[in-house]
Structure 1
Amino acid sequence: MIGILGIVVVLVMVFGGYLIAGGKLDIILHAAPFELMIIGGAAIGAFLIGNDVTTIRHTFRSLGRVFRGPRWKPGDYRDLLCLLFALIRLARHNPVAVEEHIEAPANSAIFSRYPRILADPEAVSLIGDTLRSASMNYDDPHQVEEVLDKRMEAQLQHALHPSHALQTMADGLPALGIVAAVLGVIKTMAAIDQPPEILGKMIGGALVGTFLGVFLAYGFVGPFASRLRDVIEEDAHFYKLIREVLVANLHNHSANICIEVGRQNTPSHNRPGFGDLEEALKVTRQEAA
Structure 2
Amino acid sequence: MIGFVGIALIFVMVFGGYLAAGGKLGIIMKSLPFEFMMIGGAAAGAFVISNDMAAIKHTLKDVGKVFKGPKWKPEDYRDLLCLLFELIRLARQNPVGLEEHIESPADSAIFTKYPKILGDGEGVALICDTLRSASMNYDDPHQVEEVLEKRIEANLHHALHSPHAMAAVSDGLPALGIVAAVLGVIKTMASIDQPPEILGKMIGGALVGTFLGVFLAYGLVGPFAAKMKSVIEEDGHFYQLIREVLVANLHNHATNICIEVGRQNTPSHSRPSFSDLEEALKEVKSDAA
| TM-score using structure 2 length | 1.00
**Partners in 2 of 1:54 and 1:146 — Cα distance?**
29
Question: What residue is the counterpart of 2:91 in the other structure?
Answer: 91
Question: What residue is the counterpart of 1:17 in the other structure?
Answer: 17
Q: Which amino acid is the alignment partner of residue 194 of structure 2?
A: Q
Identical aligned pairs, as a percentage? 75
After superposition, the C-alpha distances for 1:63-107 in whole angstroms (9 at most, x for unaligned) are: 111000000000000000000000000000011111100110000
| 1:115 to partner: Cα distance | 0.5
Q: Which amino acid is the alignment partner of residue 13 of structure 2?
A: M
Equivalent residues in 2 for 1:102-181 (5 A)? 102-181=102-181
Q: Confirm whether residue 227 of structure 1 aligns to residue 227 of structure 2.
A: yes
Question: What residue is the counterpart of 1:32 in the other structure?
Answer: 32
Q: Confirm whether residue 259 of structure 1 aligns to residue 259 of structure 2.
A: yes
**Partners in 2 of 1:213 and 1:234 — Cα distance?**
30
**Partners in 2 of 1:102 and 1:27 — Cα distance?**
64
| 1:288 to partner: Cα distance | 1.5
Stretches of structure 2 that go unaligned for 5 or more consecutive residues are none
Stretches of structure 1 that go unaligned for 5 or more consecutive residues are none
| 1:229 to partner: Cα distance | 0.2
Q: Which amino acid is the alignment partner of residue 177 of structure 1?
A: G
Question: What residue is the counterpart of 1:42 in the other structure?
Answer: 42
Question: What residue is the counterpart of 1:202 in the other structure?
Answer: 202
**Partners in 1 of 2:112 and 2:283 — Cα distance?**
15
Q: Which amino acid is the alignment partner of residue 144 of structure 1?
A: V
Question: What residue is the counterpart of 2:190 in the other structure?
Answer: 190
**Partners in 2 of 1:100 and 1:179 — Cα distance?**
62
Aligned residues: 289
**Partners in 2 of 1:141 and 1:52 — Cα distance?**
38
After superposition, the C-alpha distances for 1:224-243 in whole angstroms (9 at most, x for unaligned) are: 00000000000000000000
**Partners in 2 of 1:14 and 1:65 — Cα distance?**
25
Cα root mean square deviation, aligned? 0.4
| 1:287 to partner: Cα distance | 1.4
Q: Which amino acid is the alignment partner of residue 129 of structure 2?
A: D
**Partners in 2 of 1:285 and 1:68 — Cα distance?**
34
**Partners in 2 of 1:113 and 1:66 — Cα distance?**
29
Q: Which amino acid is the alignment partner of residue 265 of structure 2?
A: N
**Partners in 1 of 2:198 and 2:80 — Cα distance?**
66
Q: Which runs of 4+ in 1 moved over 2 A?
A: none
**Partners in 2 of 1:247 and 1:52 — Cα distance?**
37
Q: Which amino acid is the alignment partner of residue 278 of structure 2?
A: E
**Partners in 2 of 1:286 and 1:114 — Cα distance?**
17
| 1:22 to partner: Cα distance | 0.4
